[in-house]
Amino acid sequence: MKYIYSIIKADYLQRTRSYSFLITLAITIYAAYSFVPPPTASYTTLNVVGYKGIYNSAWVGHVSAMMTTIMLSLYGFFLINGGIKKDVDTGIGQIIATTPITNFGYLLSKFLSNFFVLLTISVLTFLISIVMFFVRTSGSPFIIGDFILPFVFFAIPALFTVSALAIVAEVFLGRKLILQYIIFFFLFGALMANVVGHKSSTINTFIDTFGVNTMTNSVKDKVNTQYHEHIDAVNLGFTFSKKHRFKTFEWDGISWTGVFIASRLMWICIAFGLVYFSSFSFHRFDFKQASGKKKKAMAPANISHTNGTFAAGINVSLLPPVVTDYSIFPFVKTELLLLIRKGPKWFWLVNGGLWISMLFVKFDIAYSYLLPILLFLQVTRWSELATKEVTNRLHYFTWSSYKPLQRMLPSQLLAAFIMAVALALPVILRSAAAGSVYSVVNIINGAAFVVLLAASLGIVTGGKKLFEILFFFFTYLITQKMPLADYLGALPHDSPIGLISIMLMLNVFLGAVSFSVRSWQVRHL
Amino acid sequence: MALEIRNLTKQYNKHKTGLSNYSITIERGILGLLGPNGAGKSTLMKIIATISKPTTGTLFLDGEDIVKNPDNIRKILGYLPQDFGVYPNLNAYEFLEYIAALKGVGGPDLRKRIDMLLDGVNLTADAKRPIGTYSGGMKQRIGIAQALLNDPKVLIFDEPTVGLDPEERVRFRQLISDLANDCIIILSSHIVSDIEAIADEVAIMQNGALLEKGTQPDIVKLVEGKVFETILDSQQLNDLKARHLVIDTSRQKDQTRARYITRNHEPEAGSVAVNATLEDAYLFLTHTKA
């Protein structure tokens, strides 16, 4: 057991000692603050069509726990995903494979390390929820149980489940990151479908991974009873509305029934079960056995490196004279090649299918669903845009080259922008054909935003995770018709010019961050 | 052509100093950098390669300040870092074209130049395979080829022979020697014999400071007459270690042959004086001048 503890500790420290994690914590603090909006805010995080709860311990505690559970389940997967891959990349895996640790022991330690990373974030939001209670209320009694119990019963089982799903994804889909993301995207949508709109019943309680169905039903019942309504819908998550006047009701929390607690324990057991069954298929870092076909091509033994040494050597005086050419086009070409070759070839069939679909489906579907999804499917291409030099240890060459800042970074941005615009071309052409100049500008702005966000976050954090998490959020929220995340201008807005200006300013800001930080980095290796 | 480094200091943080008030003048030819791990060799090379800025001090190439104007040296720089990587999805041609673009090398003969370099490092047959499939030695060879793409006048090789087999090492040394007539070559290695075979001058470093710089005969002269060999048993060996700097030992049945440097010019009884080598001088300096 001691060695499992040691692996968990090392893995946890490795993941949390990064700029990316620090920035995630900072964003979490802001998110937790926003879970309890002021009365004058233009959004709510939970309302029952025209009604919202009075801020008391129960409301603040439950809503904060509910929002933490859902948000952390959504982006937590991206945050913790890759624990096994890291061991593969660093070569640690091969050392681990030679130790007596069992497959289950190893996966269990990775699973628990995943869980503790997420737990750290949820503890932070828990503490902030208490602070927010005192900020937003006056005179309402503080009941600590109203904060602790929802976090325990909502968040912990959900975090165990997400931690286990990350393990399952890595064991069964290995390095097929994008496939993992797509599957999780749809799986999360399916899990969310159980949260709202289902009547109270034992079966519905058990199938709700997040455990908040019981809460939404309780809130709904309270309104229907108090105001003699027959409301069947609850707005959960950041719901923006111009309507500032809600009728209020006092809600005292939910009663933690035996069935509810059993359902939460069931999800914890499912999580452990998933890890246990995954251990039977775990490759234990034996890739020839796990994916013989691919690794066969990678094996150096298959390479025909003549006799393996220098041949006649290099006679420098016979080399053709050097002709200088400081244009950036060769870079753009190579960057485009790297973008295109990233990921499996068959994935271009999916991209092609979506691209063609965008020409023929209803314009609204193409613009607000297919385009953001198509751009998201390229997430691993964007996320390594400005990090791949360092991760591939090529920055020694690029940063010591002639005018790296003026030539390299613009080439990377330009290549990615060309690809993003090419992917969006069907919607751009349809918008242009319909005479919608705003849409054309919005899409181009949005394409630039994706590229600049990926580059700036990659440069600042040195990693890919933060961008991948944020981009997943943006995509998910656009498909949920959330205007705040609408970087493509796909949803109706009060002021199209306003959106264009905001996105333009954001792009300029992200560009400035990218260039200024990279400018420092190229001289401070 | 001369690279003048004056009072260079690189302070990473309060407790970690990469270089300390380091001054050296490097002229055309091969300068071998020797020093234990953490001596500051890679820090010095990174500063010359313009990817690290010194905390204080100056660095001039033919009178031009390359700390202030790094692009001046970048045009004529060939750099092979110790722990470089590649884009695994590119093949050797594409990779070298990319590096050529970085270095601002183009023109109609670029392809021919790449062909000849690939041929020179014996990678023509594998040039169209993704570099991700290459062995360590092959990657090292493509690293050497990229360093020569722009006809460099300043070449920096940080542990270039790592991953090369003995035959490749010999070829590499030959290549370096051929290049030395026309440019400044700075070469660091843990393998003293590599430096010994090709370096015109040697700089020995420790703890971020320059201990000694000179031609090989000058450096070796520092320990001439101080190097001896003797045969003794294990107890005597411990006594010898306490009194002298033992450079090397080899077992011979129940006894041990020991090579040592006297600290006080008084050899042990029965010892035989032997010719000093660069390795003797290096170990002597790093153990006595720290």
- What is the per-residue pLDDT across B15-44, written as a single tens digit (0 to 9) for each? 889 999 999 999 999 999 999 988 999 999
Which of B83, B125, B148 is closest, CB to CB, to A304? Answer: B125
User: What is the model's pLDDT at position A242?
Assistant: 66
Q: What is the CATH number of domain B2-215?
A: 3.40.50.300
Q: Is residue A262 part of a domain?
A: yes
% of chain A beyond a pLDDT of 90:
52
The closest of B18, B50, B44, B22 to B32, measured between CA atoms, is: B44
Q: Is residue A346 part of a domain?
A: yes
As a whole number, mean pLDDT of residues A344-365 equals 93
User: What is the model's pLDDT at position A306?
Assistant: 45
Q: Angle A329-341/B92-103 helices, nearest 10 degrees?
A: 140
Together in a domain, A266 and A355: no
User: What is the model's pLDDT at position A108?
Assistant: 95
Q: Where are the alpha helices (DSSP H) in B153-264?
A: 166-179, 192-198, 216-221, 234-243
Residues in B 76-115 with any Cβ partner in A closer than 8 A: 77, 79, 81, 83-90, 94, 97-110, 112-113
Are A515 and A405 in contact by the 8 Å Cβ rule? The answer is yes
Q: What is the domain partition of chain B in residue ranges?
A: 2-215, 222-288
Cβ neighbours of residue A499 under 8 Å, at least 6 residues apart? A442, A486, A489, A493
**Structure token pair of residue A6:** 């040691």
The closest of A414, A442, A418, A409 to A512, measured between CA atoms, is: A409
User: What is the model's pLDDT at position A24?
Assistant: 85
Q: Is residue A28 part of a domain?
A: yes
Together in a domain, A371 and A253: no
Pick A351 or B290 by higher pLDDT.
A351
Together in a domain, A134 and A201: yes
Q: Do A320 and B109 touch (CB under 8 A)?
A: yes
Q: Do A310 and B168 touch (CB under 8 A)?
A: yes
Using the Cα atoms of residue A209, residue A210, residue A214 and residue A217 in order, give the sign of their dihedral.
negative
Are A486 and A492 in contact by the 8 Å Cβ rule? The answer is no
User: What is the model's pLDDT at position A289?
Assistant: 46
Together in a domain, A37 and A148: yes
Together in a domain, A349 and A254: no
| List of chain B residues whose C-beta atoms are within 8 Å of the C-beta of residue A326 | 104
Q: Do A394 and B84 touch (CB under 8 A)?
A: yes
Are A395 and A461 in contact by the 8 Å Cβ rule? The answer is no
As a whole number, mean pLDDT of residues A307-315 equals 56
Cross-strand partners of A236 = A46
Block mean pLDDT (10 aa), chain B, length 290: 93 90 93 92 93 93 92 90 87 91 88 92 90 88 91 92 82 84 89 89 94 94 92 86 89 87 82 93 85
Q: Tell me: pLDDT of A311 over 90.
A: no
Q: Is residue A396 part of a domain?
A: yes
User: What is the model's pLDDT at position A296?
Assistant: 42
Together in a domain, A84 and A164: yes
Kindly report which listed range (A296-300, A439-443, B269-273) carries the lowest average pLDDT score. Answer: A296-300
Together in a domain, A125 and A241: yes
Q: How many residues does chain A have?
A: 525
Which of A314, A331, A395 is closest, CB to CB, to B117? Answer: A314
As a whole number, mean pLDDT of residues A93-98 equals 81
pLDDT class for A280, splitting at 50, 70, 90? Answer: very high
Long-range (24+ apart) CB contacts under 8 A made by A432-441 are A434/A363, A438/A489, A438/A496, A438/A497, A438/A500, A439/A367, A439/A489, A441/A489, A441/A500
Minimum Cα–Cα distance from B147: chain A residue:
A397
Residues in A 9-48 with any Cβ partner in B closer than 8 A: none
- What is the per-residue pLDDT across A379-407, written as a single tens digit (0 to 9) for each? 999 999 999 999 888 899 889 888 889 99
Q: Is residue A454 part of a domain?
A: yes
Which of A241, A266, A290 is the last residue before a domain boundary?
A290
Which of A235, A270, A290 is the last residue before a domain boundary?
A290
Together in a domain, A334 and A260: no
As a whole number, mean pLDDT of residues A235-257 equals 83
| List of chain B residues whose C-beta atoms are within 8 Å of the C-beta of residue A395 | 51
Q: Is residue A433 part of a domain?
A: yes
User: What is the model's pLDDT at position A237?
Assistant: 81
Q: How many residues does chain B have?
A: 290
The yes/no answer to whether this complex scores an ipTM above 0.85 is no
User: What is the model's pLDDT at position A288?
Assistant: 53
Together in a domain, A221 and A360: no
pLDDT class for A243, splitting at 50, 70, 90? Answer: low
Cβ neighbours of residue B269 under 8 Å, at least 6 residues apart? none
Q: Tell me: pLDDT of A197 over 70.
A: no
Which of B107, B120, B137 is closest, CB to CB, to A314? Answer: B120
User: What is the model's pLDDT at position A297?
Assistant: 43
Together in a domain, A463 and A363: yes
User: What is the model's pLDDT at position A143?
Assistant: 95
Which H helix or E strand runs over B22? strand B17-27
d(CA A140, CA A252): 12
Q: Tell me: pLDDT of A298 over 50.
A: no
% of chain A beyond a pLDDT of 70:
93
As a whole number, mean pLDDT of residues A253-280 equals 95
pLDDT class for A124, splitting at 50, 70, 90? Answer: very high
Q: Is residue A310 part of a domain?
A: no
Which of A270, A290, A310 is the last residue before a domain boundary?
A290
CA distances from A425 to A45, A337, A354, A447, B53 (A): 36, 19, 12, 11, 44
Q: Taking all residues of chain A, what is their mean pLDDT, rounded to a whole number? A: 88
Together in a domain, A231 and A340: no
As a whole number, mean pLDDT of residues A99-110 equals 89
- Per 3-state DSSP, chain B is made up of helix, strand and coil in percentages (nearest 5) of 35, 30, 35
| Domains identified in chain A, total number | 2
Using the Cα atoms of residue A220, residue A222, residue A223 and residue A225 in order, give the sign of their dihedral.
positive
Domain range for residue A23? 2-290
- What is the per-residue pLDDT across B115-126, written as a single tens digit (0 to 9) for each? 999 998 889 999
